Amino acid sequence: MPHNNTENCSISHFRYPLFTSTYSIVLIFGLPLNSLSLWILVCRNGLKKSVPVIYMANLALSDLLFTLSLPFRIIYFATGEWKMGNILCMIPGTFFAVNIYSSSLFITLISVDRMLAVVYPLRSRQFRTVPMAWVFCAIVWLIIVGMAVPTALNHPENMDKNCNVMRCFEKYSDTNWKNGFTILCCVSFFGILVPFCIILGCTVAVVRQLKGYSMATSSCNTELSKSKIVKLFLSNLLIYAICFIPFHIAFILFGLNKLGILHGNNTLQLYFDLHTVTMCMASTNSCLDPLIYYFSTKTIQGRARCDSASKTVGLGLVQSMSWNGQ
C-alpha cells in the first residue's frame, strides 16, 4: 500500500514504469510456465500416488492465480487511473497476498516432507501419504481464505481528491493503513518468519544427516549425490529469502515510519522506494517455481518406481532426489 508522498498527479515516479514492466515480464513468463507446470503435474504425474506432486500442484495453482490477476495491475500502473470498479480492485491486491503466504506455506510443507524423507524415511511414512497431503493442503487454503477476506476489504478503490482520479493499490486512507499494518505484522510472523525458521531447521537437519550417509545405489538406477541434495535445500531457502524476507522487512519499516512509530529525517521516501523494489522482487517468485518444476519432471516421473523400494535410509534419499523442484 504505497504512500501518497507527493502531490504530483503524473505517473513519472519510477514505481509506475517499474511495476508495469515487472508485472508484464512476470505475466509473460509466469502464465504459460505455471499453466504448463500445472498440466504436467496433474495430467501427466497425477495427484493420487505422489505426495510431492500434490504440494507442487497446489503451489503452481497459487502462482497461476496470481499471474491471472496481473493484467489489472499492469493496466493501472500503465495509466495511473483505476476505471474497473471496486470488486476488481480488491481481487488483484488479495491475490498478491494469497500468493505470497500460500507459497510460503506450501514451500514449508515441501521442505518438511523432504526432511522427513531423508532424516526419518521409515518412521515418517505414515505421515507422508496422499490423504495426509490433501489434509495439509486443505488447511493451508482454509488459512489463506480466512486471511483473504480482511485483506480484500482493506484494499478498496479510493478517490484521489488532489488529482480527481480513482486509485487502486495505493494512496489508502490512514484507517486502511493502520488496519493493513496490523494484518501485515500478524501474517509476517505466522506466514513468513515461522515458516522460514522451519525451512532453515529442515535444511540444517538434512545437512547434518547427510554427513553420516554413504551414498547408495537404488533399484531405479538413480545416482545419489549429497551435494545435489544439499543444493536443493539451499536453493529453496535462498529463493525464499530473496523473494519474501526483503519485502516484509521493507514494508514493516515503511509502515512504522509512516505511522510515526519509527522516526527519522527524510527516511519515509527511502523506505517507500525500498518497499517498491522489494514488492517487485516478491512478485517474481511465481516465475521461479515453474522453472524448477520443468527441470524436475523426469525425476518426478521416476518416483513411482522407487516408492515400492523405499525400505532403507539410502532409498529415502532416492525419494528426496525424486522430489526435486518442489
Q: How confident is the model at residue 7 (pLDDT cuts 50, 70, 90)?
A: very low
pLDDT of residue 296: 53
If you write DSSP's letter for every residue of 15-36 in order, what string do you get?
HHHHHHHHHHHHHHHHHHHHHH
Residue-wise pLDDT for 15-25, tens only, equals 899 999 999 99
Average pLDDT over residues 174-189: 79
Cα angle 304-33-134, degrees, rounded to a multiple of 5:
45
Q: Which of 167-181, 197-211, 310-324 has the lowest mean pLDDT?
A: 310-324
Give me the residues paired with residue 166 across strands.
Answer: 159
Contact, 103 vs 81, CB < 8 A? Answer: no
Cα angle 118-122-124, degrees, rounded to a multiple of 5:
75
Average pLDDT over residues 83-94: 88
pLDDT more than 90, % of the chain: 29
Domain locations along the chain: 15-235+286-322
Residue 318 has pLDDT above 60, yes or no: no
Give me the residues paired with residue 160 across strands.
Answer: 165
Whole-number mean pLDDT of the chain? 79
Give every CB contact of residue 126 below 8 A, 6+ residues apart in sequence: none
Q: Report how far residue 292's alpha carbon sits from residue 288's, in angstroms, rounded to the nearest whole number.
A: 7
pLDDT of residue 292: 62
Q: Which of 12-16, 194-198, 249-253 has the lowest mean pLDDT?
A: 12-16
pLDDT of residue 225: 54
- Residue written as cell 482520479? 165
- Three cell numbers written together for 291: 522453472
What's the burial of 286, exposed, middle or buried (CB within 10 Å: 0-12/13-18/19+)? buried
Residue 91 has pLDDT above 50, yes or no: yes
Residue-wise pLDDT for 287-315, tens only, equals 887 766 665 544 444 444 444 444 444 44
pLDDT of residue 226: 67
- Three cell numbers written together for 236: 529453496
Q: How confident is the model at residue 255 (pLDDT cuts 50, 70, 90)?
A: confident
Residue-wise pLDDT for 113-169, tens only, equals 888 888 888 888 888 899 999 999 999 999 998 888 888 887 788 888 888 888 888
Instruction: Give the CATH H-level superfamily of domain 15-235+286-322.
Output: Rhodopsin 7-helix transmembrane proteins (1.20.1070.10)
| Whole-prediction pTM | 0.83
Phi, psi of 127 (to 5 degrees): -95, -20
